[in-house]
Structures are given as structure tokens and as C-alpha cells.
Amino acid sequence: MPKIRKWNDSYVGFGFTKVNRDDRECAQCMYCSYVMSNESLRPSKLQNHRDKNHPHVKDVDIGALAAKRVRFDKEATLTNFGFLPEENPALECSYEVAYRVAKCKKPHTIAEDLIKPCAEKMVELLIGPKEKRNMQQVPLSNSTIRRRIDDMAAVVCQQVCSEIKQSKLQASLQLDESTDTTLERFPLIV
């Protein structure tokens, strides 16, 4: 039986936070939300993920990563416990922004870096400081926008695939060897 690994707070330095999966401690990347298996809960694996996917994190100091972890965990808990119900207009704003960011092919970080501060400033100047606080509740962090875009892309893919499957026409795809044929991205093949 593989050894059950334990979380260590120093792993935050690689850009990870602790989550529980199936009663085991696991590391979740705060930059792409990827959850590593318990077996991968060791510095070399976490460092590998960081260096391969988010090399810039190497230069982020530990204090900033710790602060990011507090925000990340809080956001995850809030949504896990349903504090942002579907009909919440702030949530709808968040999806609207994510949709437009993706549609304009802008980097997903633009929401946190530019759109949110601009929107807050405009609301503050046009309406008032109290309304600015409402604006601040719209979830537009990098990880949130990334997740929303992934969610929406998955739904679009499902819709297209189900339309093709329902169609009477025979369809086939010809792919060359440079195409990533990972099954989850090509549900049609299964």
C-alpha cells in the first residue's frame, strides 16, 4: 500500500494550498486549481508542477503566497458552502466578464489586473463609494476567471458534441499526429 503523505505548510512556497480528497491531504495549485494526488504530495512533484506550468511563481515571495492562500481558501470555502447562490448578480457579473474576456481572446488575468480596478473606480466616481463596495464583491480573481472560462468551454463542447451525435449525418474527424487527442477533450471519440 502506498504511503499516505502529509501536508506541510512549506508547500505554500511552491504555490499550493491544502485540500482534502477522499480523506487524504492533497495539494491544490493556487494558479490553475489543479489538485495533485496524495502520492504527489512531496516537494519535488510540487516544484515540478510549478516550474513547468507557472515558472514566474519562483520569484513570488513567501509572504505574498501566504496571503494568496488565505484569499484562495476563503473563496473556495464560500463557493463550497453555497454562499454565492446562482441568482446572485455578482456571480452573473463574474460569468459575463469571463465570457467577454474569452471572446476577445484576452489573457484571463486581465479581469483582476485591469477590469475590476477600472470598474470599481468608475462606479465610485459615477455613483458613490458605497456602491463601489458592491462592485468589490464581484469574484474576478485570476483563478475564478480561469475556472469560469473552462466551465463554459466544457459546456460548449458538450453541446456541439451532442448535436453532432444526434444528427443523422455521418461525421468523422481526420487528425494528424500533432493533434492532442486526449479523450476528455474529444468526447466524440469515446
- Which span sits near Zn ion by CB under 5 A: 51-59, 130-138, 166-174, 181-189? 51-59
Q: Looking at the DSSP assignment, which residues form a beta bridge with residue 25?
A: 20
Assess 32 for contact with Zn ion (CB under 5 A). Answer: yes
Options 7, 11, 16, 31; binder of Zn ion; rule CB under 5 A? 31
> Total residues at the site for Zn ion (CB under 5 A)?
5
119 or 143: CB nearest Zn ion: 143
Whether 65 contacts 15, CB under 8 Å: yes
Whether 34 contacts 45, CB under 8 Å: no
Site of grid cell 449525418: 169
Cβ-defined contacts of 24-29 (< 8 Å, 24+): 29/53, 29/54
30 or 138: CB nearest Zn ion: 30
Helix (H) or strand (E) segment spanning residue 7: none
Options 20, 53, 136, 159; binder of Zn ion; rule CB under 5 A? 53
Q: What burial class does residue 98 get, using C-beta atoms within 10 Å of its C-beta: 0-12 exposed, 13-18 middle, 19+ buried?
A: buried
Residue 48: CB minimum distance to Zn ion, A: 11
Options 12, 26, 29, 138; binder of Zn ion; rule CB under 5 A? 29
- Which span sits near Zn ion by CB under 5 A: 33-41, 55-63, 78-86, 115-123? 33-41
| Residues in touch with Zn ion (CB under 5 A) | 29, 31-32, 34, 53
